[in-house]
């Protein structure tokens, strides 16, 4: 006979994981057996659920059976082939809804039972409090009778008995009191027994309520565990679906990136090809221009050489002499030439110049003069631009110096000195406060600026080739920069004090003088930089002079 195929998830029945230890399996079985036993569980399927629990426990506690079950467990937990993720999700949602409904029904039943138990417990506690009060009343009566009896039998009462005649109880009175005492004692015993019974009932009711609450909590925990397991399954399936979608998205993005990279590579190759073709065309064009320029220069060189050769030939024919070797270098007479050929007439007639001098002149004209002329042209343009900027800055310096003289001079003019009593350690003295020194220093800076501008103009026009004058100009510019910086800051600091408010309307002119002084400082920073560059560039530049050829013939 073929063995019965197992289709139940025993791990879910015992509420443990597939990696649970045997001890955890035993503890979970004992906990669930107390809950699912038919004697304690009144559900219609309690017997079937308990039998399934026993079957799961017997399978998982035995290592051999558990290994055999684990081998087929993936086929149990895997959904059937015909099922879809959507149908599985609906089934799991229905299971979660069923467990939640079971929890709600259990909770509602528990609330009804709790209300009834609370009512019973409240009634028992009220009866217990009533019995305790009655017992306390009986105890107080007994205590009062004992106190009266002790007072009656005390020594004081015995000594005072001759004075105060006490009435003795009759036999009937004594019997009545004994009967009442016995009745109270019996009533107290009965009430104590009733109190004990009610306390026992209260404890039993509270214990039943706690057990019922514990059972409800345990059942809810079981349902919560099942819901968590189902949700974990749902989460795992959703995670797998997300991972699948993510892989598909990444694959799609990778294909898109590869496509874009391929297109970009093709575009780059086409762009590089166009740039390479453009570069080759440009190089070919430049090569053609270079060849044409070289041909033009060669043609010019041939023309110059032809002119020089013609002049040399004409010169040789004019000054032909039989002793040519002695006339090649001669020391007779002196002849002055300004730069290159042609000659400038001197005091004596210029005799014949040798062939070597003509050859040297030719080489200098061909190779040196064009480069020298271009350098001189660039230098002249730069010097002209620098001179124009310098004159503009000097004009602005004069304008701002005049503004400072006017505004600061007006503030000094309207300022009124005052005398104040000053206290010192060695006595009190009257001190006179006059025009602040900073205001006067700003006037000095303006006058110093006028002198600097005049000196700069004279130095540039009359002594431009003197190195010492250049260094003096640099020093004067540095002094002017520092003077204007100190001057306008010193006056600006005093604007916020009471010094400027002493005069009539002197704060406004002082502010204008301060702003003009700041602009003057910026202008001197610029002219100082230009002066430093001009002086040190001229000191590093080699002295070039127009070559003069003087040949003694």
DSSP structure string for 83-95: --HHHHHHHHHHH
Task: Please write the tens of the pLDDT for every residue from 159-205.
Answer: 666 665 555 667 787 778 788 878 877 887 888 888 888 888 888 88
Are residues 480 and 452 in contact, defined by beta-carbon separation less than 8 angstroms?
A: yes
- Give, as one character, the DSSP assignment of residue 551: -
Name the band, by pLDDT with cuts 50, 70 and 90, for residue 79: very low
Across all residues in the chain, what is the average pLDDT? 75
Predicted local confidence at residue 82, as pLDDT: 44
Predicted local confidence at residue 382, as pLDDT: 57
Predicted local confidence at residue 123, as pLDDT: 85
Q: Where are any strands of DSSP class E within 349-484?
A: 418-424, 427-433
Residue 140 has pLDDT above 70, yes or no: yes
- Can the peptide bond before residue 304 be classed as cis, meaning omega within 30 degrees of 0? no
Predicted local confidence at residue 264, as pLDDT: 92
Task: Please write the tens of the pLDDT for every residue from 40-61.
Answer: 777 767 788 888 889 889 888 8
Residue 442 has pLDDT above 60, yes or no: yes
Rounded average pLDDT over 386-410? 85
CA distances from 56 to 66, 72, 164, 324, 441 (A): 10, 14, 93, 136, 107
Residue 216 has pLDDT above 80, yes or no: yes
Alpha-carbon span 528 to 478, nearest angstrom: 7
Rounded average pLDDT over 5-17? 80
Rounded average pLDDT over 134-153? 77
Predicted local confidence at residue 266, as pLDDT: 92
Task: Please write the tens of the pLDDT for every residue from 359-382.
Answer: 444 554 544 444 444 444 445 455
Predicted local confidence at residue 171, as pLDDT: 77
Residue 132 has pLDDT above 80, yes or no: yes
Alpha-carbon span 498 to 102, nearest angstrom: 90
Predicted local confidence at residue 542, as pLDDT: 47
Residue 403 has pLDDT above 80, yes or no: yes
CA-CA-CA-CA dihedral for 67, 71, 73, 75, to nearest 10: -170
Least confidently predicted of 247-256, 289-298, 507-516: 507-516
Give the predicted TM-score (pTM) of the model.
0.31
Residue 232 has pLDDT above 70, yes or no: yes
């Amino acid at each position: 006979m073929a063995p019965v195929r197992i289709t139940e998830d025993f791990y879910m029945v015992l509420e443990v994981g597939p990696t649970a230890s045997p001890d955890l399996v035993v503890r979970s079985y004992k906990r669930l057996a107390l809950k699912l036993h038919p004697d304690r569980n009144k559900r219609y399927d309690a017997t079937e659920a308990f039998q399934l629990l026993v079957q799961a426990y017997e399978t998982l506690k035995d290592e051999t059976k558990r290994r055999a079950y684990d081998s087929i467990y993936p086929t149990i937990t895997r959904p059937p082939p015909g099922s879809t993720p959507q149908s599985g999700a609906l089934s799991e949602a229905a299971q979660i809804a069923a467990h939640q409904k079971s929890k709600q029904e259990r909770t509602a039943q528990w609330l009804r039972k709790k209300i009834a138990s609370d009512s019973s417990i409240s009634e028992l506690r009220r009866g217990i409090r009533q019995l305790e009060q009655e017992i306390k009343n009986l105890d107080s009566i007994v205590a009062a009778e004992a106190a009266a009896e002790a007072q009656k039998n005390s020594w004081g009462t015995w000594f005072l008995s001759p004075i105060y005649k006490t009435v003795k109880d009759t036999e009937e009175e004594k019997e009545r009191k004994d009967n009442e005492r016995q009745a109270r004692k019996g009533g107290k015993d009965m009430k104590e027994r009733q109190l004990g019974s009610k306390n026992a009932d209260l404890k039993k009711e509270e214990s039943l309520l706690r057990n019922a609450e514990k059972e409800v909590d345990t059942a809810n925990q079981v349902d919560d565990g099942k819901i968590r397991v189902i949700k974990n399954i749902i989460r795992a399936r959703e995670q797998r679906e997300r991972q699948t979608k993510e892989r598909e998205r990444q694959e799609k993005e990778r294909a898109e990136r590869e496509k874009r990279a391929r297109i970009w590579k093709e575009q780059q190759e086409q762009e590089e090809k166009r740039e390479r073709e453009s570069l080759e065309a440009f190089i070919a064009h430049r090569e053609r221009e270079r060849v044409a320029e070289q041909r033009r220069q060669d043609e010019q060189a041939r023309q110059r050489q032809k002119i020089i050769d013609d002049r040399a030939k004409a010169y040789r024919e004019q000054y032909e002499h039989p002793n040519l070797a002695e006339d090649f270098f001669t020391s007779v007479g002196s002849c002055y030439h300004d730069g290159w050929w042609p000659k400038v007439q001197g005091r004596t007639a210029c005799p014949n110049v040798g062939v070597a001098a003509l050859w040297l002149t030719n080489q200098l004209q061909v190779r040196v003069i064009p480069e020298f002329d271009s350098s001189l042209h660039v230098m002249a343009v730069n010097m002209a631009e620098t001179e124009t900027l310098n004159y503009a800055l000097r004009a602005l310096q004069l304008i701002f110096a005049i503004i400072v003289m006017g505004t600061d001079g007006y503030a000094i003019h309207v300022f009124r000195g005052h005398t104040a009593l000053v206290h010192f350690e060695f006595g009190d003295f009257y001190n006179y406060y006059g025009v602040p020194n900073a205001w006067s220093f700003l006037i000095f800076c303006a006058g110093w600026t006028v002198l600097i501008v005049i000196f700069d103009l004279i130095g540039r026009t009359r002594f431009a080739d003197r190195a010492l004058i250049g260094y003096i100009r640099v020093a004067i510019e540095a002094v002017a920069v520092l003077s204007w910086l100190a001057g306008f800051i010193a006056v600006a600091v005093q604007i916020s004090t009471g010094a400027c408010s002493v005069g009539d309307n002197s704060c406004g002119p002082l502010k204008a003088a301060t702003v003009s002084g700041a602009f003057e400082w910026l202008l001197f920073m610029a002219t100082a930089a230009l002066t430093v560059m001009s002086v040190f560039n001229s000191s590093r530049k080699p002295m070039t002079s127009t070559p003069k050829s003087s040949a003694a013939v």
